[in-house]
Amino acid sequence: MELLKEVCGVMDAQGFFKINVFYPREIAIKSESFNANILCDTGLKMFEMSAKDRKTNSYLVQNMVGMAMNSNCVKHNLKNDAREQIKLFYNCIKTDKRQYVAIRHEHLGVLLDELEIPYIDLQHLLCPSTRKLLEKYNTRVCQFHKIAVPDKTKLRCAEQKCYALLRWISDFKKQYEDLN
């Protein structure tokens, strides 16, 4: 519980895989005073993938992320580098007293380790699954998912999950305070 006092915000990412490496397509970060959500170019191409990765990523496009691995639309053809965006967002919210980002995403944890960004994985505090979080907390989807995803029941929106995680942390802190 003490580490939660050092959390500067929450972060989530949705993306795709190639040879067991996670490539973020959407990154969201939320704190008390900062909110950002951005699409990134994964640089992935289906024709360069193994059959297993093509199958996995096709499933993710249709049932989880809800958008293509990269944008073919000129208007949204962003070349944002995910690693640079994560570092930029983190630097916007960290303080001397609050250095940790809260996540609930093991693949994002691997990326944050590589970037040397300290984080707390809320799964270790028994944070519920994404499905249960979204059932409990009615949160909005980002502007990208409002446009790109016709069936809203088949998606995982990074911004939506960030809002739910922040609310869960707030409730968790209240429950802890009530016990003491």
Question: What are the tens digits of pLDDT across the range 24-65?
Answer: 998 999 998 999 998 888 888 989 999 999 999 988 888 777
Map out the domains of the chain with their CATH numbers. Answer: 2-179 (3.30.420)
Rounded-to-integer distance, Cα 91 and Cα 99, Å: 10
Q: What percent of the chain has pLDDT over 90?
A: 54
Beta bridge partners of 24: 15
What b/e string do you get for 32-49 counting C-beta neighbours within 10 Å, with b at 16 or more?
eeebbbbbbbbebeeeeb
Task: Kindly indicate the confidence band of residue 7, based on its pLDDT and cuts at 50, 70 and 90.
Answer: very high
Predicted structure pTM score:
0.87
174 CB burial (10 A radius; 0-12, 13-18, 19+)? exposed
- And the tokens for 49? 């993938």
The predicted structure's pLDDT at residue 74: 41
